[in-house]
A and B are shown apart, each in its own frame.
Chain A
Amino acid sequence: MIAAPRLRRFRLTQEDRRNLRTALPFIAPWIVGFLAFTVYPIIYSLYLSFTHYSGFGDATPAGFDNYTHMVKDPLFWQSLGNTLYYTALAVPIGVVVAIALAIMMNQNVREVAIYRAAFYLPSIIPLFALTFIFIVLLNPGFGFVDYVLELFHIPAVNWLGDAHWTKISIVLLAQLGAGGPALIFLAGLRAVPTELYEAATLEGAGPLRRFWKITFPLITPVILFDLIYGTILGIQIFTPAFVLTGGTSGGGAYTAGPENSLLFYVYYLYKNAFQYSDMGYASAMAWVLFVISVLLAVAIMRWSRAWVHYEVT
């Protein structure tokens, strides 16, 4: 009874159908690509997650073996813990750094274009190259970061050799990519009506008050976007850990960082798929990661109702 009018709304008119017929050939290559390279692998990986499969030959049905194995696999839990720890640190810090960069890029000074370019530049350097630079900067013997710490009589830190600091090193490294989100925040800042600031200034509000009462509430939709996007990217962290730990080279694979502290979820998934030839287990891990991503995104969306403002009220 209620569904009928809803259905009617989606009924196509003759013109709609004609347009659809015209449009379909244009988007057909994309549809084929999407079905073949996205939809099919997703469904296939779900099937594989219930099998033992090396990537070759026939997959052997395994029921829920791969999923039950996860529960008792200490490296699965460690990789999940490492990943959530990293994400919980990197995402909020990333938002703060990106907002700070955006505010700096938004200053009304003549040479602002140069600053914008300078702040954005690290974001377009390949992560692979950035990671190698970081390794030199973080060397406890002759690295620049510890040199600066020691100038202030702060004890040197073994950034990449101490399990307590390795993830924090990668969080720091991730901030070099803050230029991308900063551009989005900059667009958000530019969209805030200037008359609000003028009115607030006339009322005697200082810069901090203006930020907390005007800027921050009005860029909350951008913050929400960045939180969700950052979380999804954060739990897929792979490249820096792979490069920092030397991948699997160097006279045979060693641990993924001290005490496997850089064994992130996707890194462990990769090892299972391509080192241990266990595509079934890797597929099951991928599906668990997907579910975790969805749950986190939904949780953030629900939480956002309490603090995101979509319009000036």
Chain B
Amino acid sequence: MRTEVNAVTLLPRRGLTASLLSFLVIAAACSSGGGQSAPPQAGCNSGTKQVLFWTSHTPPDTVSMKNMVDTFNKQSSTDCVKMVQVPGSETDIAKLTTAVRGGTGPDVYELDRFTVAERAAAGVLTDLTPYGAADQSSNYLDFAWKEAIFKGKPYALPFDTDARALFYNKDLMQAAGVDPSQLDIAKGAPTIDLVRSIAAKLNKKDASGKYTTIGFVPFLSQGWHYTWGFAYGGSFFNASSCKVTPDDPKIVQAFKDMFWDWSTSLGVDQLQTFISTYAPTTPPLPTEQDAFLTGHLGMVVTGPWVLSWFPQYKPNLHYGVTYIPIPHQGDTPATWAGGWSVVIPKGAKNAKGGYDFMKYFAGEPGQRTYTKETQHMPTWKALLTDNSLYQGDLGLFVKLLPTAHSRPALPVGSLYWDQLSTAQDAAVRHSKDPAVALKDAATATNDKLQQFCPLQ
């Protein structure tokens, strides 16, 4: 008994000594190796300081980004960028939020530009005014720069952009006895009626009555609420009243025509079975199984990034590109542009170095590399006139840019997007009348938006 008691009473002291020793070893390990002149990582110059850069993008985009980082590191005598791929998406920044809150966030983060206002309002981002970011405004496309601003202050440098257009499969059309030249871009924007009549001829079913090919589904890929709302001339936000306006009659009409009625004509359930089989959104199929590439979808509204898919996954595809269809002959065709940006999150340890990198990455040299390597479009104005960058059909998208719409930059941008998506889904599945669904979206979004008004 006595021995046991002694052992027990001794243990804490031994434990204490052991803990102290471990602490000293760890402290020594942490303090060693902090040489002043050694570069923080391979490929960097001596004496440089690390800049941690996070992106949620995946290859092939990140391959190009890595090239840009390597080039920057070679030429910089002060900064050494370490690029890390992290989980996240256009609207999900859980990883960033928790890291910044925990004091382990990056110095630079790639953020979807339409959420800059939202994240700035939440306090996640650093105001870039002290770094002179406002001086950069004239270098960027106007709409892109406006998205980088919140309450008059710059919080981001715009990176790439895009636009949406109608892609059509010429082989499928010819096989169905349809002349694809009707959609030739030289003839201007096709009407929705023309696209509807062509699409009907491409539809095919198997012996069991399931669709195997559908001519056109307006709400697949980039056929969003915004796409058709803009096409119908709708307005999504009223700046003077500081209220979102998804219940604009033009947007309601777009929802009725392109979502509700289009589903009716194909059969709501049959169409959903086709989508679940060949073009599921829950979650999306790998790129090589995209319904347009595999010939299950005759036409699709999508962006210029698919131009880089064709040579890789379907080199023999005969396709054409034209404007997004217009409701009536003579209407002005519409599209919208999105894109990404780079920001400095709060608590960045090397914000100055981060901004130096941002100026390169989102500046002329970075955007030139990215455009050349990924078929995304630049927001750097001077690059838009350099025709050597735009091979093939990418040129069309560049021409679309000056008149492209953009989503309203709101502190509730993600919520608004989700509310519009819910209304779109309800219209497609006939579970709620479009006018009612859009009214609900307006109520829910305005409810949250009011706390940020006025936005100027």
Contact A259 B122 (CB under 8 A): no
Interface residues on chain A, number (Cβ under 8 Å)? 49
A window 235-260: CB within 8 A of B: 243-255, 257-260
Answer yes or no: A210 CB below 8 A from chain B CBs. no
Answer yes or no: B118 CB below 8 A from chain A CBs. yes
Q: A140-B277, A141-B278, A276-B414 are in contact. Are A248 and B97 (CB under 8 A)?
A: no
The total of Cβ contacts below 8 Å across the A-B interface reads 148
Answer yes or no: A139 CB below 8 A from chain B CBs. yes
Name the B residues within 8 Å of A246 (CB-CB): 281-284
CA distance A252 to B444 in the complex (A): 19
CA distance A162 to B273 in the complex (A): 8
Contact A276 B412 (CB under 8 A): yes
Contact B273 A141 (CB under 8 A): yes
Query: A139 — nearest CB in chain B belongs to which residue?
Result: B277
CA distance A279 to B47 in the complex (A): 41
Answer yes or no: B429 CB below 8 A from chain A CBs. yes
Name the A residues within 8 Å of B277 (CB-CB): 139-142
Contact B283 A243 (CB under 8 A): yes
Contact A254 B280 (CB under 8 A): no
Query: B92 — nearest CB in chain A belongs to which residue?
Result: A248
Q: A56-B122, A253-B417 are in contact. Are A259 and B425 (CB under 8 A)?
A: yes
Name the A residues within 8 Å of B269 (CB-CB): 158, 162
Answer yes or no: B49 CB below 8 A from chain A CBs. no
Contact A259 B431 (CB under 8 A): yes
Pick from B89, B121, B444, B448: contact of A249, CB under 8 Å? B89
Name the A residues within 8 Å of B284 (CB-CB): 246, 249-251
Contact B9 A22 (CB under 8 A): yes
Q: A160-B282, A161-B276 are in contact. Are A253 and B90 (CB under 8 A)?
A: yes
Name the A residues within 8 Å of B93 (CB-CB): 274-275
Answer yes or no: A85 CB below 8 A from chain B CBs. no
* Proximity string of chain A (198-227) to chain B, C-beta cutoff 8 Å, 1 when within and 0 when not: 000000000000000000000000000000
Query: B226 — nearest CB in chain A belongs to which residue?
Result: A252
B window 121-136: CB within 8 A of A: 121-124
Pick from A22, A54, A161, A248: contact of B121, CB under 8 Å? A54
Pick from A74, A250, A260: contact of B283, CB under 8 Å? A250
Name the B residues within 8 Å of A251 (CB-CB): 90, 221-222, 284
Query: A270 — nearest CB in chain B belongs to which residue?
Result: B94
CA distance A141 to B444 in the complex (A): 37
A window 116-142: CB within 8 A of B: 135, 139-142
B416 to chain A, nearest CB (A): 10
Name the B residues within 8 Å of A161 (CB-CB): 272-273, 275-276, 280, 282
Answer yes or no: B101 CB below 8 A from chain A CBs. yes
Name the B residues within 8 Å of A276 (CB-CB): 412, 414-415, 448
B50 to chain A, nearest CB (A): 24
Contact B92 A252 (CB under 8 A): no
* Proximity string of chain B (93-124) to chain A, C-beta cutoff 8 Å, 1 when within and 0 when not: 11001001100000000000000001101111
Name the A residues within 8 Å of B240 (CB-CB): none
Name the B residues within 8 Å of A159 (CB-CB): 276
Chain A to chain B contacts (Cβ below 8 Å), 10 pairs = A54-B124, A55-B97, A161-B276, A162-B272, A246-B284, A253-B90, A253-B418, A274-B94, A275-B91, A275-B414
Extra inter-chain contacts (16) besides given A245-B282, A248-B90, CB under 8 Å: A52-B451, A57-B123, A140-B273, A163-B431, A244-B283, A251-B284, A252-B89, A253-B90, A253-B421, A273-B94, A274-B94, A275-B92, A275-B418, A276-B412, A277-B124, A278-B448
Identify the 7 closest CB pairs spanning chains A and B, nearest first: A141-B277, A246-B283, A56-B123, A161-B276, A54-B122, A274-B94, A277-B122
